[in-house]
Amino acid sequence: MKINIKKPKYFKEPKMAPNAKKTLVSRCSITDDDGKSLETPGEIYLRVANHMAKAELNWGNGTEVEAAREMFFESMRENRLIVTRSTLYEAGNPTAANQLSPCFVIPVEDNISSIFENLGKAAIVQKNYGGTGFNFSKIRPHGDKVRGVLNAASGPVDFLQAYSAALSKVIQGGKRHGGNMGILNVDHPDIEDFIQVKDEDQTIKNFNISVGVTNEFMEAVQDDKMWSLVNPRNGEVVKKIKARALFDQISEHAWISGDPGLMFLDRTEEDNFTPSLGLLNATNPCGEQPLLPFESCNLSSINLDSHMVKKGKDWTVDWDTLAQTTRTIVRFLDNMIEVNTYILPETEKMVRYGNRKIGAGVIGFGHVLFKLGISYNSMEGVRFARRMAKFIKGEFEKASLELATTRGVFPNFDISTYKGTAEKYRNSTMFTIAPTGTVSMIANTTSGIEPAFSLGYERRTSFEKASENKPTEVMTYLDPVFEETLKERGLHKKTIIEKIIENGGSLHGIDEIPEDLKKVFVTTHDISWKYHVKIQAAWQEYADNSVSKTINLPNEATLDDVKNAYMLAWKERCKGVTIYRDGSKMFQVMATSKTKRLEK
């Protein structure tokens, strides 16, 4: 069913690359009964802008609704405001639930009724395009007493597998499983079983897993001390193990399969502005959004690449327009809280009438560095990341303060750590760096704060058979900023492009490419893990939520590389860390020609 919205005078179709247009329409358009798309890209954006602007009636009048609609539409059409895929599909769609939050955390208690009641709630969330995170650490260990009966408890790993099996039957949009994050704290007696649960491919494939670690544990690893595993039921020490040996196990299994990552619990809790409501000990599936029990968050991103302007032959950041877009995205996401359909009443209480967290992020940072001639693999890149993050966070805060003057502070303000301060925000948190996989294709830029994965690569998309959950469509890309540079330098030749793609999309070893281009146009696997971590830490310094970034490693990376990356992420005050060694999973979303050779 197509929604008929009268097109305003300012309506224009966006200029989009063919692959970007294909991705947007195929993933986000309303369709007829035969699955045929009924909307153009501009009509999708107008539908979303129209839906979000309706919230203005809560504080203003029809004039303000139209002004907001135009502002939102123009920001999307100009590729400055990048809206999450689920929101692009759901918002204002008469055939959808209009559930606009992609991030949820569902609590897991140590009793069977709560465990399965909340599993049912998670299934409802996933049916409605949400991703869910869980911390299983309250569950008593495997073999523990249950009502005085010895060896009766299943333990958290069994329940993790039960959640995975149940939620794998929920298919979103008939195409894919929802995402999940499973976390177990490092002092749980079943932690060693948890660490190795994903060693074999196809095991709990709809879950990412992370170990929740404390500063005390990381210090024990450094000092080679013993570590106590404690039964959460009664607080008794069940076993002692060398902290370094446990850390080695975590690192080894991450080297094997990419899991588990680490969640740094103490660092995360520092930004819990309503601690009386619970601990921040779980995140959404990709780790960028720590949330309290039954809390959810809305996400969207600013396309930094679209805020670059060329003066003569040189690129520069248009800081004034960037400031304007920060105000637009904060208003957009605060409006989203109002027009969202809350499928769980507990979530509406925590979000709309509670903390009003938003997750405004960025996309296209890798392309910004390309245009500025700055290597991602450098301290100059780290310094620029910190500068940009500081500017954006300051503008988010200004925007939220401004909204609060007309809309009021977030309802939980008086029980927050902001009480008694001049920081009277509309939203308790604002800044999130999400992975932005699909929408980076729509924006035709680099994902989140990641470097370019490859200058020429294949991306596997869609799921033809939901029951098999296998990516089946392959789309080939040449990085647009790099391609334009090749044309400017007279190097846009078929033979050179074929060499680059065959070389895994890297310029390393390509004699025809000048050294100055090789220095700037570095890709994921050209970059040392140290700079992956340092760039993440630079953004995390100013992101009051968290940062989703992968510390990509080449296939030949060593176990020590993994251990050192994890340790540096803790020292640099990241809130979490995920590594991925190229080719270590059977199905990998982004692949270069080199990865394909590893899979054979």
Q: Which amino acids are annotated catalytic?
A: 284, 286, 288
**What is each CA distance from 578 to 16, 194, 286, 292, 300, in whole angstroms?**
32, 16, 9, 21, 22
Cβ-based neighbours of 222, under 8 Å, separated by 6 or more: 567
DSSP conformation class of 205: T
Task: Write b or e for each residue in 213-243: b if 16 or more Cβ atoms lie within 10 A of its Cβ, otherwise e.
Answer: bbeebbebbeeeeebebbbbeeeeeeeeeeb
Tell the residue number behind the tokens 């998670």, with chain if given.
122
- Which residues have a Cβ under 8 Å from the Cβ of 274 and sit 6 or more positions away? 292, 354, 355, 412, 415, 416, 417, 428
Nearest to 432 by CA among 534, 523, 339, 539: 539
Place of tokens 């989009």: 16
Q: For residues 304 and 367, what is the distance between their CA atoms, to the nearest angstrom?
A: 8
| Cα(290)–Cα(334) distance, integer angstroms | 18
Q: Please tell me the distance from the alpha carbon of residue 535 to that of residue 328, in angstroms, as a whole number.
A: 26
Contacts for 97 with CB less than 8 Å, ≥ 6 apart: 90, 128, 129, 341, 343
- Nearest residue to 87 (alpha-carbon basis) of 538, 442, 469: 442
Burial of 497 (0-12, 13-18, 19+ CB in 10 A): middle
3 state SS for 50-77? HHHHHHHHHCCCHHHHHHHHHHHHHHHH
User: CA-CA distance, 449 to 368, in Å (whole number)?
Assistant: 10
Strand duo 590-591 + 103-105: pairing: unpaired
**How far is residue 424's CA from residue 428's CA, in Å, rounded to a whole number?**
9
First to last CA, the chain: 45
Gap between the Cα atoms of 539 and 431, Å rounded: 10
How is residue 213 written in tokens?
A: 């670690």
List phi, psi (to 5°) of 438. Answer: -65, -45
Sign of CA dihedral 130, 133, 139, 141: positive
Q: Would you say 42 and 17 are in contact if contact means Cβ atoms under 8 Å apart?
A: no
Contact call for residues 212 and 186 (beta carbons, < 8 A): yes
Please tell me the distance from the alpha carbon of residue 194 to that of residue 159, in angstroms, as a whole number. 11
CA distance 252 to 184: 17
* DSSP-assigned letters across all residues of 325-379: HHHHHHHHHHHHHHH---SSHHHHHHIIIII--EEEEEE-HHHHHHHHT--SSSH
